[in-house]
Structure 1
C-alpha cells in the first residue's frame, strides 16, 4: 500500500504522526527517510509525544546515543538514528533484535543498516523545504491495515460534526475493537472502532468458539443493545452516529469514574454498588426483546444456552488444566467434568429470560453521581448481551475477577437484590440461590481458563495474579449443597490449594 501526502506545515506533519500513533503496538516499525531538515525528527518526536498521552517529557535527538527508549509511553517506543552506524555488529550491540519484539521503533536513516523487509513496516520518505513537506508512505503488514482503517475512520468522521476533532487513544484490542476519544472544544465523545469479528478456527461442532459462545460479530450488537437500554432509562452510552458496514460509531462519553478504579483507590462503594444492584433487580422485572429493529433489519439477541455455557467451561480443561499440570486432562476426568456440567447447567435455563449483559462488573460500570436513581450507574461493554438467567450478571458483579470485594459486603448486596425482587412473581428465592451458585461456579471456571489462555497464548501473564481471587469465588459457589458432586470433582482433580498457587 502506498500513499502520497503533502503537509503544508510542521504542525500538519506532527498531527499526522500523532494520528498514526493511535495504531502503534510492539513489533511495528516506522522507517523515516529523507535529507537533513526534511522533518524526520519532527515526525518521530510528535509520534513519541502522542504515545505519552499528555505526559510531558523531553524527546532529545538520538544522534549521539544512537537509540533512545521510552518505556513510560502507552506502547514502549525506541527512537533510533542510524546515521553514524558503520556495521551490522554495531547494530546488534544496540539490541535491535530485542527492541523489535518489545517496542515500536521509529528509525531515522534506516537505509544505513536496517533490514527494510520487516513484516510490519511503515516507510515514510520525506522531501521538501520551507513550509511544506511531501511524503511517500509505503505500508506493509499491520501498518497497511492501520492506514486503511485510519482512512476509513476519517471518512466516517467527515460525515459527522466531529470531522475536525482531535483524536486520542483510549483503549482497545488492535486486532478487533478499539476506542478513541474525540475532542471538539469542550465537548468529548467516544469513537468506537469495531470491524466485523474474523472467524477463528473450528473448535467444536465445526464452528469457532465465538459462534458457539455467541460473542458479538460486529457493531450492530452495540448499537442495538445500547439503544434499547437508553430507551428504557438506563445510562448506556447514547449513539450519535454510526456506520454498520464499516463498524464505526460516535457515542456518548460517560467519563472515567470507573468502579474498578474507585475500588482500587479505596473509595466508599456502598452507594455505587447498591445502585448497581438496583439496576439488575429492575432489569430482572422487565420483559426483554429477542429481536431489535435496526436499519430495516432485526438484530437477534442470542440465547445463553447450554451449548454456550459448556464451551465456556471447557476453557478450564483446555487451558487451565495444562497450565497447572503441564499435560492434557485425562479423558476420564474430562468426561466426568462434562457430564457434571450437563447435569447442572440446564437448571439455569428455567424461568423468565432477561438480557444478561455478561460483563456487568467493575471495569464496565461507571458512577455518575450527578444523575438520579438508576441513571447513576453507567453501563458499557454491552455487545455480548444474551437472553439468560438474571443471576449471571449479579454473580459477575459480586464475584469480580479483578478487584477484591469483601464477602460480607457481597452477601449484603445479594440480600438487597433478593429484597428488591421479593414481590416479583417470577422470583423464586430457592431457585435463584441454586442458579446463582451454578452460574457463579460456571463463570469462575471459565475465567480460570481465560486467564491461563491469556498467559499461554497471548503472553499476558499479569492475569495470573487474579487466579487466587477467582479460585476463592469458585470455592464459595461449590459450597452450595446442590453442587456437592461438582465440588467433589474439583477437590479430587484441582483442589483449591493447587489452583491458588497457579
Structure 2
C-alpha cells in the first residue's frame, strides 16, 4: 500500500495546505485513515474515509450539528465528501485514554468532565438523526449469536435470544422518547482534551436519537480501558444528580449495558475472524465481565435466563475467553 492515498496532495492543495508536511497516524477498526498536517507552526487533521467502504457525510452532518449546539466537535476546514476527504481542526495529542495513563490522579476529575458533557448534550433537543429503535437494538445484540457463539462452537437458541431482548428492551423504548442525541462510541479513546481545557468529541458519525443512558454506559463500561466499579458508581450518581434521572434509570442503564456489551463481544469476534485483527480478542474478557454485572440486574431476567440455558458456565467463568 502506498503511504499516501491517491488524491491526497490534490485535496490539501484545494484546502489551502499545500506544502504542509504529512504524518500518518494510527488507524482504528475501520477503513478510515488519518494524517496530521504541519505548516508554519499550525496543524490540522486529515481524514480519508474512502468510498464505497466509508462515507464521511454522516460525520460532517453530526459535526456541524454538534458545533451549532455548543458542543466541541472539530471545526470543518475543508471537505470533498464524494472522494472521502475531510480536513478538520486538530485537537492535539491529549486523548483521554493516554492522558489518564500518564496522570492517573486526575481520573475522577476527567471522568467528571466527561459525564458533565453528557448532561449538557442531553439538555439540548435531539438532532435530526435516525432513531435508536428496536430493530437497531436487536440487530446489534444479534452480533453476539451471529459471531461469538459459532466461534465458541456453540449451537444456541437464536429465536429465544431475540425474544428475550424484545421483552427486556420494550419497557425502555417507551421511556427514551423523545430521546437525546446518542454518539454511540463515547469512551476514553474518543474523547480529546485540547489545550484550551475543553472536551473534544470525535468518532460520532453513527449518532442516533435514543436513550440517555447509552453513552453513559459506553463511557463507564469501556471496552478498552478499565473503569473501577467504584468510579462507575460515583459517575453514575453524578449523572443522575445533575440530570434528574427517574427511578427506572439504573434499570435502563443495565439493559443498555448488557445490550452494548453483547454487541461488542460480537464485533470483536468478527474483527478477529473475518478481518484478521486478533488483538481485539484480548479485550473480550473485560467486556464480558461488565456484561455479567449487568445481567445480574432483575430487569435483565429474560436475557439472563437465556444465558443460563445457552452459554456454558465454564465459558462464562472465563469471561468469554475462547479461541475465537
The offset of 1:483, in angstroms, is: 1.2
The offset of 1:453, in angstroms, is: 1.2
- Counterpart CA distance in 1 for 2:82 and 2:279 is 35
**C-alpha RMSD over aligned residues:** 1.9
The offset of 1:379, in angstroms, is: 0.7
Instruction: Find out whether 1:457 has 2:262 as its counterpart.
Output: no
- Counterpart CA distance in 1 for 2:318 and 2:29 is 34
CA offsets per residue over residues 441-476 of structure 1, 9 Å max, x none?
000000111111112112222111111111111011
When you count strand as a share of all residues, which structure comes out higher?
1
The offset of 1:197, in angstroms, is: 3.8
When you count helix as a share of all residues, which structure comes out higher?
2
Conservation of the 8 A alpha-carbon contact between 1:357 and 1:386:
yes
The offset of 1:193, in angstroms, is: 0.9
Partner of 2:122: 284
Instruction: Find out whether 1:349 has 2:173 as its counterpart.
Output: yes
Partner of 1:430: 247
In the alignment, which of 239, 248, 259 is matched to residue 417 of structure 1? 239
- Please show how residues 48-87 of structure 1 align to structure 2 within 5 Å: none
Q: 1:490 to 1:498 in 2, by over 3 A?
A: farther
> Secondary structure, in 3 states, of the residue corresponding to 2:274?
helix
The offset of 1:183, in angstroms, is: 0.9
Partner of 1:310: 138
The offset of 1:240, in angstroms, is: 0.8
> Secondary structure, in 3 states, of the residue corresponding to 2:200?
strand
The offset of 1:21, in angstroms, is: 4.8
Instruction: Find out whether 1:189 has 2:29 as its counterpart.
Output: no
Unmatched segments (≥5 aa) in structure 2: none
Partner of 1:446: 263
Partner of 2:148: 320
- Counterpart CA distance in 2 for 1:184 and 1:456 is 41
- Counterpart CA distance in 2 for 1:196 and 1:393 is 28
The offset of 1:265, in angstroms, is: 3.6
Partner of 1:169: 24
> Secondary structure, in 3 states, of the residue corresponding to 1:314?
helix
Choose 1 or 2 for highest CA Rg: 1
Q: 1:263 to 1:489 in 2, by over 3 A?
A: farther
- Counterpart CA distance in 2 for 1:160 and 1:457 is 36
- Counterpart CA distance in 1 for 2:49 and 2:103 is 33
> Secondary structure, in 3 states, of the residue corresponding to 1:190?
strand
The offset of 1:275, in angstroms, is: 0.5
TM-score by length of 2: 0.92
Conservation of the 8 A alpha-carbon contact between 1:318 and 1:449:
yes
The offset of 1:406, in angstroms, is: 0.6
The offset of 1:289, in angstroms, is: 2.8
The offset of 1:172, in angstroms, is: 2.8
Q: 1:175 to 1:353 in 2, by over 3 A?
A: closer
Conservation of the 8 A alpha-carbon contact between 1:229 and 1:235:
yes
- Counterpart CA distance in 2 for 1:173 and 1:365 is 14
- Please show how residues 237-256 of structure 1 align to structure 2 within 5 Å: 237-256=74-93
